[in-house]
Amino acid sequence: MPFALFCNDAQISKAYPSEADVWKFADTSGLVVDVTADEERPGPRRILDNDYEIRPCKASPGEDPARNKADAERQSRAEPQFNS
């Protein structure tokens, strides 16, 4: 089953083959933040910003999650990456 990024119950990304692929998309889009450790988990952890969440979804008719992943990877290699 494919996965996508959602905000307030609205799907805001294309469908991707795995949850890990959506995490990568969210990270390159600046939607992942580091939070400090708490008593239950040592070390910093990464979470989605604000009301974003990753959920299983159905691909739209004619949509290919594997092609979406390949397109996103190709685009990330083509665009310059800047460190802040």
Mean pLDDT of the chain: 88
Which structural domain, as residue segments, surrounds residue 45? 3-59
Residue ranges of the chain with pLDDT lower than 50? 84
Whether residue 50 lies inside any domain: the answer is yes
Residue 68 domain-assigned?
no
| pLDDT on residue 79 | 58
DSSP structural state of residue 53: E
The pTM is what?
Answer: 0.80
Q: H or E element: which one contains 74? A: helix 65-78
The pLDDT, as a whole number, for residue 6 is 97
Residue 80 pLDDT: 59
CA–CA dist 80, 19 (Å, integer): 25
Has residue 24 been placed in a domain? yes
39 is a domain residue:
yes
Residue 78, CA distances (Å) to 19, 62, 81 in order: 23, 25, 9
Give the model's pLDDT for residue 82: 53
Judge whether 77 lies within some domain: no
Domain count, the chain: 1
